[in-house]
Structure 1
Amino acid sequence: MPLTSGSFATFLIVCPTCFFLGIIFSLFPYDYPILWSTTPTPASHYDYLEAHLQFLHASPPLIPRILHIVIFLGLAGLISKLYKPSESNMLFDGASLVLYMCGVTVYIANIVKGLRLASAGKYGDALATSAEEQDQILGREDSLKVLSASNTILALVLVGILVLQAGQWYAELKDQQEYESVGKGKKTDSEGEEEEAVSSAVETKSGKKKNKEN
């Protein structure tokens, strides 16, 4: 199948999505004991997670720039596929764009904020001025739990985008196969009509020849 603008746009969507899933998977060893383990999470694990987040937030400016460029590439791929959209594009790519923007929102609202809090080491309970405010504002462990849960939500959103793109590819493949089968059927019918016309012409010609001989 030749490379078209639609397949290139799909490439721009799938590759950044897989890239982000890889980043989230690298954080899974930190998130699993907090969210999914049945045993109590030791306090040292939060120290490891906080140190890792501080290291990420203190990375060179080139790292977040590359991340933001990849985010922009995925968004550009979705927008380019929605240019002069068909019914299939509106259904699959429109839903993919909605999920992608939800992922960007989770990244800006929760993950970036959580990285800044972990880097500063000042959580809500440390900034509260009264006992009532400390009960209402998230502390260190709760803030890190929210950050881990945000990673899980973002992973589900990204998997949803991949499922939608795979569904669109499968639907287009089925449509193409049906179109080819219908085209072959019409071609077979036309060939059969031509053969019948030729055979009838031969029979007519042979009949005339016999009449002349008689």
Structure 2
Amino acid sequence: MGDLSTAIVVIATSFLLGTLAMHWTADHLVLWQSPVTRPSLLSAHIYYSHTLVSMPEYFTIGQYAVGTLGGVMLLAKVLGGRESNWLFDGASLFLYGASGIVYLQKIVPSLRALPATSPQPAADPMDPKDNVLLPLRDLASSNAVLAVALVGVLILQSGQYYSERLERRERVEENEARLRRKRRKLERAQ
């Protein structure tokens, strides 16, 4: 069960990370490009309007289902009873839960705050009261936070896999050493 649940968590996390990677082009225009220009804001607005705001509902349900499946599997792994589960899976569950909270508290409201139509050009694209800049900047920064948290989940899961593999190898070596000692004792006794 452990390997299967780890695989499900890694697949779900990778899927969610992939959905975030799709938005890198729009996020780059808003967060990482300097200076932010009005055409880059309009391009990011058009991207988000066409991909996330007007996305069919079954895509959203699918994304929520994959996220929920990953969270449930992490919770099941935490409650699995092994000592390493508390360290690796507990930290993964924290990051995964924090990602869910950021998504629901920052991304969903920012998507709802985007204007339905492309806004008219303003004099200053960096106007702090701009009804396009603020939601786009919130979306881009939240996507960056989510990406870091989900990469953290992947690193923790791979660390747990490596730790368990090393532990199994040590157990095999201990058993082999025990068998060698028993053979030597038997050889001496004869």
Q: Residue 81 of structure 1 aligns to which amino acid in structure 2?
A: K
Match of 1:85, SS?
coil
Structure 1 distance, partners of 2:85, 2:4, is 14
Q: Residue 31 of structure 1 aligns to which amino acid in structure 2?
A: D
Structure 2 distance, partners of 1:166, 1:138, is 42
Deviation at 1:50, TM superposition (A): 1.1
Deviation at 1:83, TM superposition (A): 2.5
Structure 1 distance, partners of 2:69, 2:7, is 10
Equivalent residue number for residue 112 of structure 2? 116
Structure 2 distance, partners of 1:120, 1:187, is 73
Deviations 1:33-57, CA, capped at 9 Å, x for gaps: 32223x3122111111111212221
Q: Residue 13 of structure 2 aligns to which amino acid in structure 1?
A: T
Equivalent residue number for residue 206 of structure 1? none
Q: Is the 8 Å Cα contact of residues 17 and 158 (structure 1) preserved in structure 2?
A: yes
Q: Is the 8 Å Cα contact of residues 111 and 135 (structure 2) preserved in structure 1?
A: no
Equivalent residue number for residue 102 of structure 2? 106
Report whether the alignment pairs 1:29 with 2:21.
Answer: no
Written as runs of structure 1 = structure 2, the 5 A alignment for 1:133-212 is 139-198=131-190
Deviations 1:101-160, CA, capped at 9 Å, x for gaps: 10000100111111111154699xxxxxxxxxx97x674213211210000000000000
RMSD: 2.0
Q: Residue 176 of structure 1 aligns to which amino acid in structure 2?
A: R
Deviation at 1:169, TM superposition (A): 0.7
Report whether the alignment pairs 1:40 with 2:32.
Answer: no
Equivalent residue number for residue 205 of structure 1? none
TM-score, L = length of structure 2: 0.89
Q: Residue 115 of structure 1 aligns to which amino acid in structure 2?
A: L
Q: For residues 138 and 154 of structure 1, do their structure 2 counterparts lie closer, same or farther at Cα, with a shift above 3 Å needed? A: farther
Equivalent residue number for residue 84 of structure 2? 88
Aligned length: 182
Q: Which has the higher contact order (CA 8 A, sep 6+)?
A: 2
Higher Cα radius of gyration: 1
Q: Is the 8 Å Cα contact of residues 16 and 73 (structure 1) preserved in structure 2?
A: yes
Equivalent residue number for residue 69 of structure 2? 73
Q: Residue 193 of structure 1 aligns to which amino acid in structure 2?
A: K
Q: Is the 8 Å Cα contact of residues 102 and 146 (structure 2) preserved in structure 1?
A: yes
Structure 1 distance, partners of 2:135, 2:79, is 40
Deviation at 1:9, TM superposition (A): 0.8
Q: Is the 8 Å Cα contact of residues 53 and 119 (structure 1) preserved in structure 2?
A: no
Structure 2 distance, partners of 1:17, 1:116, is 25
Equivalent residue number for residue 126 of structure 1? none
| Gaps in structure 2 of 5+ consecutive residues | 120-126
| Gaps in structure 1 of 5+ consecutive residues | 124-133, 199-214
Report whether the alignment pairs 1:6 with 2:28.
Answer: no
Q: Residue 13 of structure 1 aligns to which amino acid in structure 2?
A: V
